[in-house]
Amino acid sequence: MKNDDPQPKTQPSGNKPPPRPPRNTAVGLGPSDDSDKKRRATITKIAYGEGKFIRQSGGRGQYGHVRVKIEPGKGVEIISDVSNDAIPAKYIKPVTDAIREALDSGDLIDNPAFEGHPIVDIVVRVVDGSFDETDSSDLTFKMAGIFAIKDAVKKADPIIIE
């Protein structure tokens, strides 16, 4: 080091990152085509599902209960056939939103072959449920809706389509 250098050069202390692999190797690459992303799942028969979200932890509880009927159809259609006595109108939107998100995510079927494939060509009818004046909320009905559609899809003989 010279006396007239304003800033000396510094060297790393020895913890260097590993070298990168060459650019044209197959390390870390997925499938070369996007055929997996085009795959979707659907159902082959009518089925019913029920979802309950009930928690009690000392204070105010959480309660939501939803029953659905699913059947093959065209596109994704979610219909509310439930009366206000069973589920108040303010909880129907959280239920339908949660069902749509669950169908789009493709994580409803506990089978690795279906993982990540959205479910299409299905008609979902919210047919029944129950609520509690103090313990029900948007969140409890979202969870109950997800549980109900998951239960129904398992019973409806799902298949993967191209």
Burial 11-50 (b: 16+ CB within 10 A, else e): eeeeeeeeeeeeeeeeeeeeeeeeeeeeebbbbeeebbbb
CA atoms of 150 and 68, how far apart (whole Å): 10
Q: Which of 27-31, 82-86, 93-97, 155-159 has the lowest mean pLDDT?
A: 27-31
11 part of a folded domain:
no
- Note the pLDDT of residue 115: 80
Q: Assess if residue 3 is contained within a domain.
A: no
Q: Is 140 part of any domain? A: yes
Q: Is residue 34 part of a domain?
A: no
Taking the model in full, what pTM does it have?
Answer: 0.74
CATH assignment of the domain containing 60 = 3.30.230.10
Total domain count, the chain: 1
* Residue 79 counted as domain residue: yes
Position 77 in a domain: yes
HSE, side-chain direction, 13 A CA sphere, residue 23: 0
pLDDT, average across residues 40-44: 91
For residue 81, the enclosing domain spans 39-161
Question: Are the CB atoms for 33 and 145 separated by under 8 Å?
Answer: no
